[in-house]
Structure 1
Amino acid sequence: MLFGSLGIAIISLFLGDVLEGLLDSLFDSVGEFLNPLLLFSTLSVIGGSGVLLTKYTDMNNLYVLILSLFIGAGSYFLIYYFLVTPMSNAEASTSISIFDLEGKVGEVITTIPANGMGEIFIESTNGSRNETAMSFDGVEIKQGTEILVIQVIDNVLYVSELEEF
């Protein structure tokens, strides 16, 4: 049981997406709680603890089985709540929200009229982006002017001219 489940756990680690696609209908109904990698890892822990308890203790085989099952159940919940759940909630992209642009400095690439919209260019470590902008102060901001993003409302950036001291 130890080597078989360990081998399947390692295979599912590398081919997890393929197995997940094949077993998609089964595991969608029970959720992420019963994913194959987690199940076979738990079986590996049960088998490994059974081997160690049998070899290094004088306990009865029934007690070894019961204790191994408890150790496996404990490892299942620890792995699920401390590895699977946080990793499934982790964001895999480097994109940023438009609201993260508040307080950033950029440059006007299309003149922003006093009561209209223009376009600004903001450069960051995640890449550069062009966004629609309006004047926060209600004044015209010319092309090439450095600006500061003050606020984001309805996916429009409200900017003010950046003044140097």
Structure 2
Amino acid sequence: MEALFWGCLVGGILFAVVTVLLGDILSGAIDGVLDFLSVDFLNPMVLASFITVFGGAGIMLGNYTELTSWLQIILAMLAALVISILLYFGYVRPMENSENSTGFSIQELAGRIGEVTIPLPALGYGEVMVRVGASNTMHIASSFDKQPIAAGVRVVVVEVADGVLRVSELEERKGEM
């Protein structure tokens, strides 16, 4: 029984070391292998922690208690299950929910405020800078009102048509900025 526990402990530690050193390479190689299971808690980190804790708890129970082999296995599995659940709900799941994307759709820009960087002629195209998330993006724009708009003027995106922002000069009320 001790060999099983040692094998799980050493295997779990080796998995952790290999994951730290070669994680990106392995992630790309086995990406989607367990997708058919489609169970969130079967995360490799959770499974590896279960195996490692099972081995470590089994070794400790074998060395410091006089319990039978079956009771050692059951208690080691319970300890591994508790630690894995704590790891999943305390680390893995919050990290999955915190992932951010910097991607956006140009259609989402309608209603946003921007600034003209290249003047917009009455019937032509220019360029507008719009803040998206933590960065500024530059987009081809045309005047919605068919009026020229100078560089540096604040505008509002009225609509997006054919990948071009159709903007109108922003009329700011006194006291607002």
| Bigger helix fraction | 1
Aligned equivalents of 2:89 and 2:130: distance in 1?
39
Structure 2 unaligned spans of 5+? 1-7
Shift of 1:62: 2.1
Aligned equivalents of 1:75 and 1:101: distance in 2?
47
Alignment of 1:44-55 (within 5 A): 44-55=52-63
Calculate percent identity across the aligned residue pairs: 27
Q: Is the 8 A contact 1:133 1:159 kept in 2?
A: no
How far does the alpha carbon of each residue in 1:76-123 deviate from its partner, in whole angstroms, 9 at most, with x for none? 33433443344345436545665478554422423153x876431246
Alignment of 1:57-72 (within 5 A): 57-72=65-80
CA RMSD across the alignment: 3.8
Secondary structure of the corresponding residue to residue 26 of structure 2: helix
Aligned equivalents of 2:133 and 2:33: distance in 1?
41
TM normalised by structure 1 equals: 0.66
TM normalised by structure 2 equals: 0.63
Name the CA shift for 1:111/1:153 in 2 (closer, same or farther; >3 Å): closer
Residue 5 (structure 2) aligns with:
none
Residue 110 (structure 1) aligns with:
119
Structure 1 unaligned spans of 5+? none
Q: How many residues align?
A: 163
Residue 170 (structure 2) aligns with:
161
Aligned equivalents of 1:42 and 1:100: distance in 2?
46
